[in-house]
């Protein structure tokens, strides 16, 4: 069963909205519970637990494609009721409640009575999510920025040590970028940066994290990846960038990149991990550019 909510106030105008004092009290409690967080996943978990007391379910999924959000809790089940959440023309994503037996008409009515409690806190959480994403995204290339890089590397370093899993890092620099800026202008240089960033993003795996470190340098963090796999991926990136022809106005220029790859060693600090990748990239530059070098 699929039920669309076109506007939050559509639910509130339902003729049964004010009929039951108990239902109104439950809505008040749910609304209060949802005010404590701006974290989208935590918010949905709170809502799911609150709805359990009204209508039991085995799990839920929440998706928001444009925000790249996919959240699930509990187990998937055959029967479901889905709600496309929209408030004031703002798409809030789709929420699906699932369970093993069919939802009755009365249960669906109860869900619809309380789901209006979710839409405004969810909108606030999404606005907060967008603000955080914007603060951690490089405005030109739309990859992660240096601010987010430090936290990510520390987190991946901690995880690799705790779980005894490999961690690799790649540092990439666009060759002769200053000459590109000097010869063709900074506007074309920006076009090159955006094209290379997009090329990296489409070449790496979903689990890899791309950052613009500064200027024409990019960093790729590869969790649960050993040196051999990281070097192979670096070579694919090198080849992909080399095959680019970047157009803007009358200009059509090819670019290359130099890459350094390293794998975390047991004694490495976060700073040493980055330093080793930087040293490998420097060797790639020294050895003629447009190549991949890796630490011993």
For residue 13, pLDDT over 60 is answered with no
Residue 12 has pLDDT above 80, yes or no: no
Each residue of 201-217: pLDDT tens digit? 999 998 999 999 989 99
The pLDDT value recorded for residue 237 is 97
**Tokens read off for 201:** 């993003």
Which CATH homologous superfamily contains domain 2-135?
A: GAF domain (3.30.450.40)
Checking if the pLDDT of 293 tops 80, the result is yes
With a cut of 70, say whether residue 7 has pLDDT above it. no
Both structure tokens of 133:
């994403």
Tell whether pTM > 0.75: no
At 157, is the secondary structure helix, strand, or coil?
helix
Compute the distance between CA of residue 164 and CA of residue 176 in angstroms, rounded to an integer.
39
Domain residue ranges of the chain, discontinuous segments joined by +? 2-135, 146-294
pLDDT of residue 67: 85
> Average pLDDT in the 25-46 region?
88
pLDDT tens-digit readout, 92-133: 999 999 999 999 998 888 888 888 899 999 999 999 888 777
Tokens of 5: 């909510």
The helix/strand/coil state of 85 is strand
Marked catalytic residue, from 4, 216, 228, 235? 216
Question: What's the pLDDT at 23?
Answer: 62
Find residue 292's DSSP bridge partners.
Answer: 259
Going by C-alpha positions, the residue among 278, 211, 3, 202 that lies closest to residue 115 is 3
What's the CATH code, domain 146-294? 3.30.70.270
Residue with tokens 């963090």: 221
Q: What is the per-residue pLDDT across 242-255, written as a single tens digit (0 to 9) for each?
A: 999 887 777 678 89
Q: Tell me if residue 81 falls in helix, strand or coil.
A: strand
Active site residue 242: no
């Amino acid at each position: 069963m699929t039920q669309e909510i076109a506007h939050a106030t559509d639910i509130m105008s339902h003729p049964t909205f004010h009929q039951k004092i108990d239902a109104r009290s439950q809505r008040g409690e749910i609304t209060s519970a949802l005010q404590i967080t701006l974290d989208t996943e935590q918010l949905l978990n709170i809502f799911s637990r609150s709805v359990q007391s009204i209508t039991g379910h085995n799990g839920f999924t929440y998706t928001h494609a444009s925000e790249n959000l996919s959240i699930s809790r509990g187990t998937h089940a055959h029967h479901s009721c889905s709600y496309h959440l929209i408030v004031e023309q703002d798409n809030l994503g789709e929420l699906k409640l699932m369970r093993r037996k069919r939802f009755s008409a009365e249960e669906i009515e109860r869900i619809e009575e309380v789901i209006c409690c979710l839409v405004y806190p969810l909108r606030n959480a999404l606005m907060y999510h967008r603000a955080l994403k914007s603060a951690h995204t490089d405005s030109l290339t739309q990859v992660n920025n240096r601010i987010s890089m430090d936290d990510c590397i520390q987190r991946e370093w901690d995880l690799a040590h705790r779980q005894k899993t490999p961690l690799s890092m790649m540092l990439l620099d666009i060759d002769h970028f200053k000459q590109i800026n000097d010869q063709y202008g900074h506007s074309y240089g920006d076009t090159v940066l955006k094209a290379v960033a997009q090329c990296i993003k489409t070449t790496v795996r979903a689990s890899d994290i791309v950052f613009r470190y500064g200027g024409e340098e990019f960093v790729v963090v590869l969790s649960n990846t050993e040196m051999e796999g990281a070097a192979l991926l670096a070579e694919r990136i090198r080849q992909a960038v080399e095959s680019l022809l970047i157009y803007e106005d009358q200009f059509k220029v090819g670019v290359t990149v130099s890459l350094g790859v390293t794998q975390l060693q047991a004694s490495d600090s976060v700073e040493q991990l980055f330093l080793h990748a930087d040293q490998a990239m420097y060797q790639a530059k020294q050895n003629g550019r447009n190549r991949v070098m890796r630490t011993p």
